[in-house]
Amino acid sequence: MRVVTGIPEMKALAGEWKAAGRTIGFVPTMGYLHEGHLSLVRASKERCEATVVSIFVNPAQFGPSEDFQRYPRDLAKDSATLEREGVDVLFVPAAEAVYPPGYKTYVEVRDLQDRLCGRTRPGHFRGVATIVLKLFNIVRPDVAFFGAKDAQQTVTIEKMARDLDLDVEIAVCPVVREPDGLAMSSRNVYLSPDERAAARVLSKSLAEAERLIREGERDASRVAARVKDIIAGEPLARLDYAEIVEAGTLEPVAEVRGDTLILLAVYIGRTRLIDNLRARVEEISSC
Ligand code: AMP
């Protein structure tokens, strides 16, 4: 595995691969890798001839009172893990190279960026869209792999790719969970043992939503109310939001029909966790 820190070097390498007709798969991450990240790496290795993983804790997507400074980092361990996975290039750009003094350009995906997590984290999706577009321009992937865990992020990136005519396929991979259901996240290390136990409430409440929908409940407010009740029953949990939205636009829905997402953000102590459930409900049409 080659470790690349320079942007010009990464561009040159991508250019060589393009010229040789090799398909490039790309997995952008903030590091502190877990099985969720590795599922994306494996999907890329399966589909593409060269795989690039980036590790960059992107200051532009953290608010001033968020956890940028204490975000977990372990480059040596991540690098060894990616080497074992057979990744071709680990790209680790320096923040000063990505955002040099006088940097001025940002990408906004209007409306999508303001909903849900965007309300609690203003500027977050602007930071995400900007870094992802920059990384796409440097790595020039044919396919970029994202996790369904960050549902609003994938919808935002897909929209940006369509709106800006990007020549990249956005591949979305399923949420990888711990055995008890908690969605894997680099931030799970923040949780104390009690908080870790309490964090199960996210996936538990989504499983209950899934059960209700399976049994025929179509009233989105009733499903959301049940999810909120379950979160409220966990003393260490504080709800940020629980919403049911149309999967492509993230617009709230009154009925659970077609392709919907049930999205959840919950504080467990000081740690904010997200999770979601995709509910595809077939319409039964009569003729
Ligand atoms: P992050 O390092 O948190 O920015 O995540 C990098 C990529 O890994 C994003 O596309 C995430 O959606 C994806 N990812 C993070 N956690 C999981 C998970 N539990 N399952 C699947 N993908 C994930």
**Average pLDDT over every residue of 66-92:** 98
pLDDT band at 282 (very low <50, low <70, confident <90, very high): confident
Residue where a domain stops, chosen among 173, 200, 217: 173
Our count of domains for the chain comes to 2
Do 101 and 230 fall into the same domain? no
> Which domain range does residue 62 map to?
2-173
Do 64 and 163 fall into the same domain? yes
Give the model's pLDDT for residue 177: 98
Query: Is residue 54, in this structure, part of any structural domain at all?
Result: yes
Do 198 and 57 fall into the same domain? no
Q: Is the CB of 146 under 6 A from ligand 1?
A: yes
pLDDT in tens, 138-185: 999 999 999 999 999 999 999 999 999 999 999 999 999 999 999 999
Quick one: which atom of ligand 1 is closest to the CA of 175? 20
Residue where a domain stops, chosen among 173, 201, 234: 173
- Residue of 146, 173, 261 best suited for mutating to test ligand 1, as the one with most atoms within 8 Å of CB: 146
Quick one: which atom of ligand 1 is closest to the CA of 183? 19
Say yes or no to pLDDT of 248 above 80: yes
133 in Cβ contact with 164 (< 8 Å): yes
Region at 46 (left for phi over 0; alpha for psi -120 to 50; beta for the rest)? alpha
**Average pLDDT over every residue of 57-75:** 97
**Average pLDDT over every residue of 21-50:** 98
Residue nearest atom 17 in ligand 1 by C-alpha distance: 36
Do 46 and 80 fall into the same domain? yes
pLDDT in tens, 110-129: 999 999 999 999 999 999 99
Q: Is the CB of 118 under 6 A from ligand 1?
A: no
CA distance 251 to 260: 10
Do 165 and 231 fall into the same domain? no
Give the model's pLDDT for residue 211: 98
Q: Which residues contact 12 (CB under 8 A, 6 or more apart)?
A: none
Give the model's pLDDT for residue 284: 56
Query: Is residue 181, in this structure, part of any structural domain at all?
Result: no
Query: Is residue 179, in this structure, part of any structural domain at all?
Result: no
Do 115 and 25 fall into the same domain? yes
Do 104 and 47 fall into the same domain? yes
pLDDT in tens, 252-265: 999 999 999 999 99
Ligand 1 midpoint to CA 287 (Å): 43
Query: Is residue 107, in this structure, part of any structural domain at all?
Result: yes
Q: Is the CB of 40 under 6 A from ligand 1?
A: yes
Query: Is residue 29, in this structure, part of any structural domain at all?
Result: yes
Say yes or no to pLDDT of 61 above 60: yes
Tallying the residues shown for the chain, one arrives at: 287
Quick one: which atom of ligand 1 is closest to the CA of 187? 3
Ligand 1 midpoint to CA 216 (Å): 31
pLDDT band at 287 (very low <50, low <70, confident <90, very high): low
Do 126 and 200 fall into the same domain? no
Residue nearest atom 12 in ligand 1 by C-alpha distance: 147
Model-wide pTM > 0.95: yes
Do 226 and 269 fall into the same domain? yes
Q: Is the CB of 175 under 6 A from ligand 1?
A: yes
Q: Is the CB of 30 under 6 A from ligand 1?
A: yes
Q: Which CATH number does the domain housing residue 244 bear?
A: 3.30.1300.10
Per the prediction, the chain carries an average pLDDT of 97
Catalogue the active-site residues.
Answer: 37
Say yes or no to pLDDT of 286 above 90: no
Residue where a domain stops, chosen among 147, 173, 199: 173
Q: Which CATH number does the domain housing residue 89 bear?
A: 3.40.50.620
Do 56 and 80 fall into the same domain? yes
Q: Which amino acid is at 201?
A: V
Q: Is the CB of 39 under 6 A from ligand 1?
A: yes
Give the model's pLDDT for residue 283: 66
